Chain A
Amino acid sequence: MAALQDKYKELIDAAQAAGTSNLKVNELDGVLHIEGEAPTGAVKDQLWNIYGKIDPNFLTGDVVMNINVATAVAGAKLKVITESSNLNIRKGPGTDQPVVGKAAHNEIVSLISKQSDQWWLIRTDAGEEGYAYAQYLQPVE
């Protein structure tokens, strides 16, 4: 077993045990790439906690972990998890696109579709529709 997979064995094992689908673990130039779809946001949090335990503050730079949450499907309710500010809703997927609306911090919105891993098309309860940055949206379970 490669040294990196050995170092992060607990993380990989936990991902498997928690039912992460499409789990891919690959090594590229000394960096372990872990990809998959966690069944819940709690599993994703758990995996990040294990990663942080093995590599405190994620400073070694020997892992790139991209775990999506399976519940983030069309129609799902999403919570706006910005630090405190409003989340911009834009006309198109990109920060160069005009802002067409805003969702408040902690507001619940609906997922219409995923344009990419980064940009999701959402709709607010007020009926505003547009693209928002996925990092600030967390599926409500």
Chain B
Amino acid sequence: MIMKLKHLTTVILSVGLLFMISCKSKPKDADIQAAVTTALQSSPGVSADVKDGVVTLSGSVATQADKDAAEAAVKLNQGVKSVVNNVTVAPPPPPPAAPVEVTADDSLKTAVASIVKDFPGIQADVKDGVITITGEQKADRWKKLKMALDALKPKKVDASGLKVK
């Protein structure tokens, strides 16, 4: 009975010891995951997946430097065997569309007048960047006029009152 108990104690102790050793030499994936997640707090957009000590990074960042930084931050953690860096570098977003440039009424009026004088039968009015065209014109001449007016950077060319022959 005593022998049996002694034997059991030894078994329990050895199992416990083995367990402790295995814990110390080989951190669990869950522990690595926690450490890596903390390390990645400075790399927004990147997430990690841990399996058998191999960390796979995924997500999207703006630059190659960000991608490298995420990998470096993860590598430092204990228990990380290797890093598979699947992070993609997204192209920079297109620059915001430049607002439409509209010519001020004063210069627009002068420019419109100097063009329209060569188009008899056409009257033009300028207000708040909108050129309003009235009168009568042949289709090909109106096209020429419209091309010229559009090049002045108006807000709009309103020809609803124009009769095209």
Interface, chain A (partner B; CB < 8 A): 24, 26-29, 31, 33, 48, 52, 57-59, 61, 64-66, 68, 83, 94-95, 117-118, 133-135
Interface residue ranges, B against A (CB under 8 Å):
97-100, 102, 110-111, 113-115, 117-118, 139, 141-144, 146-148, 150-160, 162, 164
Taking a contact as CB atoms under 8 Å apart, the answer to whether B146 and A26 are in contact is no
B143 touches A135 (CB 8 A): no
Are A64's CB and B147's CB within 8 A? no
Known contacts A58-B157, A66-B153, A133-B115; 13 further A-B pairs (Cβ under 8 A): A26-B97, A26-B99, A27-B100, A28-B99, A28-B102, A33-B100, A58-B146, A61-B160, A83-B118, A117-B151, A118-B151, A135-B115, A135-B147
Min CB distance, A139 to chain B, in Å? 15
Q: Give the total number of A-B pairs whose CB atoms are below 8 A apart.
A: 71
Among the listed B143, B144, B155, which residue makes an inter-chain contact with A31, where contact means beta carbons less than 8 Å apart? B155
Of all chain A residues, the one with the shortest Cβ separation from B133 is A61
Name, among B117, B142, B151, the residue most crowded by chain A CB atoms within 10 Å (CB to CB). Answer: B151
Identity of the chain A residue whose Cβ is nearest the Cβ of B154 in the assembled complex: A64
A58 touches B148 (CB 8 A): no
Task: Out of A59, A94, A134, name the residue touching B162 (CB < 8 Å).
Answer: A59
Inter-chain contacts of B156 with A (CB < 8 A): 29, 31, 61, 64
